[in-house]
Amino acid sequence: MHLKMSRIAAKKAVCNGSDVQIHHYSGFFSCCSVTLRSIIEFIKSNDVAPIIIDVNDAFNEYKKASQSLSVWFVDPKHSIGAIIKGPNTFTPSSHDIFQHWFENDPYVFDVNAFQFIINTYFKPNSSMIELKNQIKVKYGINPSQTLFLYYRGTDKVVEMSHTPVDIMIEKCREVNNDLSILVQSDEPTFVERVRNEFPDVKQIEELEARGHEDLEERHIHSRYLLASALIASECNSIVMTTGNVSLWMFLYRGHNKNVYQYHHAHNKEIGDFLRLEDS
């Protein structure tokens, strides 16, 4: 299914000539989602993959305006070989990057279809890989023996109905098979509840503080946020709420095995967990 142009317009992402220009002012992974959507729309319109992604007017809560995405990701100019070797023609039948997806929808799309784009434009650079590995060592994280639990609360209720804490806890009990739990949440009370309910719980402490006023501190926080998503993508299982952070854990994972998404749209009376591999 093709992308909905109205959503692209609403996010103020536009393509200009041979470059993709991004204009977006929001959270880190929200900017990533808008950038991904814009790259796909460029390919859809031009039947060729872009090389220069202009983010001078995006991600500016986390970087200087003059900086590029290379502060987090491998510069796509260095991936020119992958772009050249990639599909010469992008159509829904030959390469399903035009299927519908949206960060607040059920993640029932074919995530594997996006791996060429993710590995070309959002491949973490060497410093991000180093940070990811440092975090795993510091907190003793063994992804193959870990359940990653992500709970987004606070202002997310503007977009999605509130996720009951008890539902997340019970799903962890159901999924957990003697796995360690790595919890990430913007609600300290949720983290404390998880610590009280399970014997082996870890948390990346650098992600506890949010809303930094200093640009450098916000940049550091974005690096830990990205590293956390990369770690989540490697974990045995993921139990998560719905939103941009969850979406990027899923995109980096590249498959839907052992991924459990709780989805409760505002127009639905109740929400439910989706075991995505069954979709």
Average pLDDT over residues 69-98: 67
The predicted pLDDT at position 158 comes to 53
Ranges of each domain in the chain: 5-121, 126-278
What three-state secondary structure class fits 7?
A: helix
Q: Which residues does 58 contact at the CB level (< 8 Å), separation at least 6?
A: 22, 23, 24, 25, 31, 34, 35
Tens digit of each residue's pLDDT (9 = 90 or more) over 213-231: 899 999 999 999 999 999 9
pLDDT digits (tens, 9 = 90+) for 23-57: 998 899 999 999 999 998 888 888 778 888 999 99
pLDDT tens track for 154-194 = 555 555 567 889 999 999 999 988 999 999 998 999 999 99
Q: What are phi and psi of 207, to 5 degrees?
A: -95, 0
Dist CA 97 CA 106 (whole Å): 17
The hierarchical CATH code for the domain 126-278 is: 3.40.50.11350
CA distances from 240 to 91, 216, 262 (A): 31, 29, 6
Planar angle of CA 183, 189, 190, nearest 5 degrees? 35
Per-state percent for the chain, helix, strand, coil, to nearest 5: 45, 15, 35
Residue 135, pLDDT score: 98
Q: What's the whole-model pTM score? A: 0.86
